[in-house]
Structure 1
Amino acid sequence: MSAMSNSNFSRRSIFRAAAGMAAAGTLAACGSNNGRGGSGGSGTQLTQYFHAYGEAGVEQAVKRYAKGYTKANVATQWITGSDYETKLFAALLTKQAPDVFEFHPQIQLVKSGQVADLTDIIEPVMGDFNQADIASHKVDGKIYGVRMIDDPQFFFYRKSMLEKANVAVPTTLDELIEAADKLTTSKVKGLFLGNDLHAIEAPLIWSAGAETLTDKNEVGFNTDAVAGGLSQLRKLFTSGNLLLDAPADFWDPSALDQGLCAIQFCGMWAMPVMQKALGDDLGIFPFPKVGSAGKPSVYNGGWSMFVNAKGKNVEAAKEYVKWLWIEQKKNQEDFATSYGFHIPPRTSIAQQATKLQSGLPAEGVKLFNTYGHFDNIGWTQAMWTALDTVIADSVRKGGDPKAALDKADKTVTRELKKLFG
């Protein structure tokens, strides 16, 4: 599916996806009301929205969990196609709006009164959550949304290809560009960063020692180091060493699995599929340091469960979310580790998740813990779009990086004034 042809919401969905959505480009209609829960005594009807995860078995698991709930009938809408956000936001404006839905923490949902305060159900177990996940869902001391999974994103590489080309694992952006050049052959491109490069926007900023937003909710990305990184990316973009027309986007492991590239930016969710295809010929490393003051970074995407504050059954929906995403630890571990690898946001579950405790998955967890950056709830959809424009203007079109950053700075500052005054 062409990410370029989708709306900003859907492109961001692909960028931040916890898992690759189905590779088919067709925009299928919303799944019908299926996956009904047990015959709850109250007869309360709840509907939950999920985007179509790419890994086999996720849909069946989500419906199986819902069926085990006895206090309400829970129907699951499994949203296929590449435009989950578009369908979700359209549905939230109608009488058919879901009671419960998965999304990413974004402050405009709180400010518009769309999502319910879940502090009361999370507070008793707050100490068991990764505190960065709590912070990324907090506004004015209240917690909106329960984190379900954390999804670190980093580079995967074919060890044999690097050895053959006598290339060391890159630790700086310069070394990554050099490696891409040495690894490119007539049949294989050195590097894949995704078809539109949007996946690496935030990592580039963090690895240059900057932030998207400062602690005071001011622009943090408009620095000389970030501009320098954009210039380096332009050099890479025009080098011929970048895979730019992969059949699927960065979230899908096929580019590396099929030998289209030697190094691919992707998420930990794809690790089991890659290991199955490549065995031990697989390594990982964080987004490397950009400029002299930078340091490596890992973007921790993921998905969270929200309650629709404008729904008919807010308390019943909160009860269900509490039951599934706070009390049912077995289901939470199953969701995180049985269908692709994700890191459970609950410390107690992460500690007992045996599949993540050795080999490459353990290395992924270590990168997550060492270099991880989480969503900033104040960073909105319009701000992501501003960064998309920076990449388009400076990397794709070769415009002045500082001018592109200044333009985005104005857009983001305007958004921040709307949100924070």
Structure 2
Amino acid sequence: MSDKPGSGASGPTDLQDILRAPGFCRHSTGHTAVVEWDADTGWSAPAVGPYATLPLDPATLGLHYGQAVFEGLKAFRGEDGSVSLFRPDDHGRRLARSAERLAMAEMPADLFTRACAQLVAAAEEWVPGGYGQSLYIRPLLLATEADLGLRPSRRYRCVFLAYPADPCFGSGFRPLAVTTATETVRAVRGGTGESKCAGNYAASLLTRTRAQAAGYDEVLWLDGLDRRRVEELSTMNVFFVWRDGDGSRLTTPPCEGTIVRGLTRDSLLTLAGDLGLPAVQEPTAIDDVVDGVRSGRLAEMFACGTAGVVVAVGRIGAGGEDLTVGDGREGPVTRRLRTALLDVQHGRTPDKHGWLLRVGATGAAHAHVIPTDAPHTDEGGGRNA
């Protein structure tokens, strides 16, 4: 391994020190992959190069009218030392859905995956080997044409960044404290709540900052109409574990256009089935959550997402009350599901669902990586590939 951190890194200068305790996205690998789209020529092939600032005209459409969407996915080091991306095609398809909602060019999923694979291959030494650690990849798709007219851009750039990372709330998975939003809403049906667009996250910051000042980690958003149904946190989906006779039943709010279709969420629903845990998507009223906490019927609550993995919710503020979920500690179902997910991601258990794509210098063939000078254009040159 090289002992030189990449461009943009700060703190420790020895790569081994960084990988032992990377934190969350504090140290860039110094590599990026870039894919561009032009209305006349279509999509370019991925180009991997050094980390650099973006040259943007002050009149860039993406800055003025918010045509900016992003993704977050991870590459993991397996028990045998190999490196694999987790569900890259699904992340690529989700980026395309977000782009479609904002009238942006939709990158084909195979091109998205090739860009990720080439970036990981260039930065393979930066993939940490600790359980729960990963190489976090952040693709940002931005409108780059300079024009002040309100219209879709005719040019886009997708920049893929890479950072060695611990889970964003820490590798100890300390239970979170959350509070409901009472004066603001995150999304309504017909809006952009399902999309991973920059504006959604900006709109959450004021409420999230106020929640943190009041002693909470995150905001639990309610529906935008009557504010009765639970939706999600600012950056994570939520699950509830209900006592059901002698067993447990797992529920999560349904995706109906107002919450992000989390791939960690989807993976956990699948893994719950593998583990024999009944799991359903169903609307959940905040009053039922409060009543469940008081009665003990709600045994556990947890949040999940690519950056945070799976982390328990130990305390919830709602209706002027501050309630402890269960005994305030992580419950067995939460722990079991997180372990099942991480075991697949690190290759400790078989990948029965085809979620892992082996990449990196030793696994490039498995990723179907194309040369960076090979063209990739839209059929017919249309905007929506």
* Normalised TM-score (structure 1): 0.22
Q: Which structure features the higher share of helix residues?
A: 1
Q: Which structure features the higher share of strand residues?
A: 2
* Normalised TM-score (structure 2): 0.23
